[in-house]
């Protein structure tokens, strides 16, 4: 018996499947992104969020068997609930992190379970409604086709368009609107079947009004939550596919945060950047070609430009939003001395690991200024595989310097990096400096030849001088070397050690 021609109502429901799938995946991605922003270790957070969400969808699919009558009415109500809870998920979690941080993790997984269960109910109900006029074979193929197409669309749009242009709060509310419009659509499609049409219409109007109010106030919600979280007044904020960038202004001047983690404070960043750059640069003598990996704020470049011998600097920064911000904003350009506008500088917006694999250039000094290894994506930049690539790009007389967390708080992590550098045949010279905003902070100079104390430093430094420089290389007993494993791509022991050590101080 030939299948009946698809009715307009069936086509409309299949289009709804596309929207439902897109919205469902969006809420999942938003929860994973927020978890990685605020809890660190992106692989762990995304894995647990996705696993919890899929489990909840399975629960929702199982529960759909208990919905026997008035399927369109149940579908409409579920769409409104998904719209309200899923759309508000990023805003609620942002607020929770600011005001009740201890409850963030519980609320995160609670909302993921709730949204996942509701999303798991949607598709089975749509399939049962469509089954009235469609063969099972065609039904399954059609529904799954639209489901996967919706997931594909949002998986591409989320990192490339939605988060950079709208931010997480607006994106969540926008997709909540889309779910609510599906409910509105269902209200019209099934207007003759719904017993309490007026009550359903009122519910749709309420949800749409609530989401519209949230959308209009999204910027205020974000600022309200972040002002509480960061304490100081936020003067700049931006979301990129890679991170949340926030600059605050307070008594200590400007502060830069990436995903909620402090990167520098204006009042003492000179200590950090002088300690990072000058021991290696000055010891070389006359470096001509320099690379900076990370450091998109331009502060390290500012210090490097104090050496007249430097002919070229290659800045490799993954996130173009960072180099745009610190190269374009007048206040931030003042902080880095307009270093990103130097004619000696070339900016490459690429993953440093991939760039090292592809470049054939050799460098006299390589400054490695990555964030701490809070997750496996960053942890790969502290592995023996990465340092082997670094070794190949370092001139015979060259030095690399790596910022390497606190040897006091994260002692094992610090010496793990030293051990890892030595494992590829480079000589490692560790040292440390006190930066008030961070505490005791560690660095490592790596090279094919042993490091030696320089005989001169650039004029005008505020922290380092030739008399105090040797003190940086002296480690007291509580920071002295401890046995440590090599950090490899296959084990990432550094990430585990870092998480354990900083977790003990509530970092």
pLDDT digits (tens, 9 = 90+) for 380-412: 999 999 999 999 999 999 999 999 999 999 999
Q: Among the listed ranges 246-260, 311-325, 446-460, which one has the minimum average pLDDT value? A: 246-260
Domain that holds residue 241: 227-264
Q: How confident is the model at residue 477 (pLDDT cuts 50, 70, 90)?
A: very high
Q: How confident is the model at residue 136 (pLDDT cuts 50, 70, 90)?
A: very low
Q: Is the pLDDT of residue 284 over 80?
A: yes
Quick one: 424 and 497 in the same domain?
A: yes
Residues 328-345 have pLDDT tens digits of 999 999 999 999 999 999
> Do 263 and 297 form a contact (C-beta atoms < 8 A)?
yes
Quick one: 439 and 369 in the same domain?
A: yes
Number of domains the chain is built from: 3
Q: 2 lies in a domain?
A: no
Residue 232 pLDDT: 82
Q: 275 lies in a domain?
A: yes
Q: Is the pLDDT of residue 141 over 80?
A: no
Q: 1 lies in a domain?
A: no
Q: How confident is the model at residue 7 (pLDDT cuts 50, 70, 90)?
A: low
Residue 507 pLDDT: 42
- Residue scoring higher pLDDT (433 or 229): 433
Quick one: 232 and 205 in the same domain?
A: no
Q: 291 lies in a domain?
A: yes
Q: 187 lies in a domain?
A: yes
Residue 41 pLDDT: 61
Residue 309 pLDDT: 96
Rounded distance, CA 143 to CA 26, Å?
19
- CATH number of the structural domain spanning residue 485: 3.40.50.150
Q: 3 lies in a domain?
A: no
- CATH number of the structural domain spanning residue 180: 1.20.1250
Quick one: 325 and 457 in the same domain?
A: yes
Residue 143 pLDDT: 66
Rounded distance, CA 401 to CA 304, Å?
13
Last residue of a domain, one of 197, 225, 253: 225
Residues 143-189 have pLDDT tens digits of 677 777 888 888 888 877 887 778 888 899 999 999 999 889 888 88
Q: 257 lies in a domain?
A: yes
Q: Is the pLDDT of residue 463 over 80?
A: yes
Quick one: 357 and 397 in the same domain?
A: yes
Residues 56-113 have pLDDT tens digits of 999 999 999 888 888 889 989 999 999 999 999 999 998 888 788 788 889 999 999 9
Quick one: 437 and 331 in the same domain?
A: yes
Percent above pLDDT 70 for the chain: 93
Quick one: 170 and 88 in the same domain?
A: yes
Residue with tokens 């990096």: 417
- CATH number of the structural domain spanning residue 233: 2.30.140.10
Residue 95 pLDDT: 86
Quick one: 289 and 239 in the same domain?
A: no
- Residue scoring higher pLDDT (313 or 237): 313
The whole model's pTM is what? 0.76
Rounded distance, CA 71 to CA 64, Å?
10
Residue 458 pLDDT: 95
Quick one: 250 and 146 in the same domain?
A: no
Residue 149 has φ and ψ, to the nearest 5°, of -65, -40
As annotated, the active-site residues are 369
Last residue of a domain, one of 194, 225, 256: 225
The mean pLDDT value for 193-199 works out to 87
| Mean pLDDT estimate for the chain | 88
Rounded distance, CA 234 to CA 252, Å?
13
Indicate the pairing of strand 289-294 with strand 312-316: parallel
Q: How confident is the model at residue 1 (pLDDT cuts 50, 70, 90)?
A: very low
Quick one: 169 and 238 in the same domain?
A: no
Q: Within the chain, what is the greatest distance between any pair of CA atoms? A: 94
- Residue scoring higher pLDDT (229 or 25): 25
Quick one: 214 and 181 in the same domain?
A: yes
Q: Among the listed ranges 49-53, 167-171, 352-356, which one has the minimum average pLDDT value? A: 167-171
Quick one: 162 and 20 in the same domain?
A: yes
Q: 462 lies in a domain?
A: yes
**Half-sphere exposure of residue 39, counting CA atoms within 13 Å on the CB side?**
24
Last residue of a domain, one of 225, 256, 278: 225
Q: What is the DSSP string of 183-208?
A: HHHHHHHTTTT-TTHHHHHHHHHHHH
Residue 21 pLDDT: 83
């Amino acid at each position: 018996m030939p299948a009946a021609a698809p009715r307009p109502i069936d086509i409309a429901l299949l289009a709804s499947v596309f929207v439902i799938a897109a919205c469902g995946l969006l809420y999942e991605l938003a929860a994973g992104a927020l978890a990685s922003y605020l809890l660190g270790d992106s692989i762990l957070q995304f894995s647990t969020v996705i696993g919890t969400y899929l489990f909840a969808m399975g629960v929702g699919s199982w529960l759909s068997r208990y919905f026997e009558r008035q399927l369109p009415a149940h579908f409409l109500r579920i769409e409104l609930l998904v719209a309200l809870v899923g759309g508000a998920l990023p805003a609620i979690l942002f607020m929770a992190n600011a005001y009740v941080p201890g409850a963030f993790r519980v609320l995160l997984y609670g909302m993921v379970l709730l949204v996942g269960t509701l999303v798991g109910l949607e598709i089975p109900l749509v399939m049962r409604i469509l089954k009235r006029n469609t063969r099972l074979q065609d039904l399954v193929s059609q529904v799954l086709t639209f489901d996967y197409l919706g997931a594909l669309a949002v998986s591409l749009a989320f990192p490339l368009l939605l988060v950079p242009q709208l931010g997480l709060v607006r994106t969540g509310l926008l997709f909540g609107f889309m779910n609510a419009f599906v409910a509105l659509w269902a209200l019209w499609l099934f207007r003759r079947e719904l017993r309490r049409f007026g009550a359903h219409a009122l519910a749709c109007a309420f949800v749409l009004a609530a989401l519209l109010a949230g959308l209009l106030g999204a910027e205020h919600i974000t600022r309200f939550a972040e002002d509480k979280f960061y304490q100081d007044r936020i003067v700049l904020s931006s979301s990129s596919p890679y991170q949340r960038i926030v600059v605050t202004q307070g008594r200590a001047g400007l502060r830069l945060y990436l995903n909620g983690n402090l990167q520098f404070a204006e009042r003492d960043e000179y200590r950090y950047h002088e300690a990072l750059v000058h021991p290696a640069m000055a010891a070389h003598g006359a470096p001509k070609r320099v690379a900076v990996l990370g450091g998109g704020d331009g502060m390290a470049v500012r210090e490097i430009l104090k050496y007249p011998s430097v002919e070229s600097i290659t800045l490799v920064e993954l996130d173009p939003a960072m180099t745009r911000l610190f190269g374009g904003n007048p206040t931030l350009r003042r902080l880095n001395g307009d270093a990103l506008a130097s004619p000696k500088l070339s900016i490459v917006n690429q993953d440093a690991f991939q760039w090292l694999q592809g470049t054939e250039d050799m460098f006299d000094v390589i400054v490695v200024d990555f964030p701490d290894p809070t997750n496996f994506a960053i942890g790969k930049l502290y592995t023996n595989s990465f340092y082997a690539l670094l070794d190949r790009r370092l001139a015979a007389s060259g030095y690399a310097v790596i910022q390497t967390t606190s040897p006091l708080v994260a002692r094992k992590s610090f010496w793990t990096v030293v051990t890892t550098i030595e494992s590829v045949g480079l000589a490692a010279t560790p040292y440390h400096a006190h930066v008030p905003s961070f505490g005791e902070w560690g660095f490592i100079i790596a090279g094919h030849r042993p490091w030696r104390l320089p005989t001169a430093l650039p004029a005008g430094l505020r922290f380092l001088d030739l008399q105090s420089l040797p003190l940086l290389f002296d480690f007291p007993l509580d920071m002295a070397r401890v046995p440590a494993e090599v950090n490899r791509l296959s084990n990432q022991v550094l990430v585990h050690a870092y998480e354990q050590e900083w977790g003990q101080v509530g970092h």
